[in-house]
Amino acid sequence: MTNQGTVAVVTGASRGAGRGIAIALGSHGCTVYVTGRSQKSGDAPLPGTIYETADAVTAAGGTGIPVRVDHGDFDQIQALFARVDEEQGGLDILVNNAFAAHDEMTVPGPFWEKTLDLVHMLDVGLLGSYAAAYHAAPLLVKRGRGLLVFTSASGATHYAFGPAYGAHKAGLDKYASDMAVDFREFNVAALSIWMGAVKTERMQVMADADPERFAAFESLMETPQFTGHVIWAMFRDPQLMEISGQTVIGAEMAEKYGILDEGGRQPKSYRELHGVAPFRQYPRIIR
């Protein structure tokens, strides 16, 4: 399989994991539509813009195309995929990564003592991802082969940062399972991928604020590009449809494909570190 003309959309790619995934796909020659809200310095508390990421995609060897999208706005999501269809005639890879992170999410305490605004991560993380998949689906089907990925985490199966975060991650895993059923006859795979602790700009701020706590933890972190290389390997796998519908652990898929992270490191799986693994769905289908 060639990467000639491979078109990807990575949502929430101004910074963090989305930025890394977009750059990694660019390094494999993909045309990558980079979406997010940040257009200039100061648009968000953390550094990073869609234009900076798109430039980095191009510098890595691909073609980066920045598109300002609020993934809480269905009309903007629809317009994004209409543009991709008009300019590219289809889509090969969609990475649903946009997520309304909130600083208070990681503050200790019960959910009712935190801001109610935390529930908005379901607007962007779940509703926005559904809308993106909805509008991307005809473009993926048109290609005759495609991959839809949701970036998730182990909080889907254990307590992490409170119920809104957990519902978000569990919902993404369920999306992948159920969307795979509808996509199967069209040769389009849907997967959810558990990333490990990713060394994002947000995580670096947390580590800098409490270096003693994060000292050992930092050595286990994955670079933001790591998941992008794993996604590319899965897309290129002729047996991709055999795992469609599953939630996979990025570190385990990397080991399968022989992918190392920066510095030749092989990140450890949550299964290995904590005995935590994704739930498997029952095969029963009711229509």
Domain boundaries, the chain: 7-274
**Confidence band (pLDDT; 50, 70, 90) for 38?**
low
CA 257 to chain centre: 19
Query: pLDDT digit string (tens) for 64-89?
Result: 999 999 999 999 999 999 999 999 99
Distance, in Å, from the CA atom of 230 to the CA atom of 222, rounded to the nearest integer, reads 12
Residue with the larger pLDDT of the pair 2 and 199: 199
Residue 2: predicted pLDDT = 43
Range with lowest mean pLDDT among 24-33, 220-229, 230-239? 220-229
* Type of residue at 39: Q
Task: Please determine, for residue 3, whether its predicted confidence score (pLDDT) is greater than 80.
Answer: no
Percent of the chain with pLDDT over 90: 76
Residue with the larger pLDDT of the pair 48 and 278: 278
Range with lowest mean pLDDT among 18-27, 83-92, 104-113, 168-177? 104-113
Task: Please determine, for residue 113, whether its predicted confidence score (pLDDT) is greater than 60.
Answer: yes
Residue 231: predicted pLDDT = 98
Dihedral pair phi/psi, residue 104, rounded to 5°: -75, -10
Degrees, nearest 5: CA angle 156-226-206: 65
**Confidence band (pLDDT; 50, 70, 90) for 1?**
very low
Query: pLDDT digit string (tens) for 189-232?
Result: 999 999 988 766 666 656 666 666 666 666 678 899 999 999 99
7-274 is classed in which CATH architecture? 3-Layer(aba) Sandwich (3.40)
Distance, in Å, from the CA atom of 36 to the CA atom of 99, rounded to the nearest integer, reads 10
Query: pLDDT digit string (tens) for 119-161?
Result: 988 998 899 999 999 999 999 999 999 999 999 999 999 999 9
Which residues belong to the active site? 165
* One-character DSSP codes across the chain: ---TT-EEEESS-SSHHHHHHHHHHHHTT-EEEEEES--STTSSSS---HHHHHHHHHHHTSEEEEEE--TT-HHHHHHHHHHHHHHHSS-SEEEE------GGGGSSS-GGGS-GGGGGHHIIIIIIHHHHHHHHHHHHHHHT-EEEEEEE-GGGTS--S-HHHHHHHHHHHHHHHHHHHHHGGGTEEEEEEE---B--HHHHHHHHHSHHHHHHHHTTPBPHHHHHHHHHHHHH-TTGGGGTT-EEEHHHHHHHHT--BGGGB-PPPHHHHHS--PPPPP-----
Model pTM greater than 0.85? yes
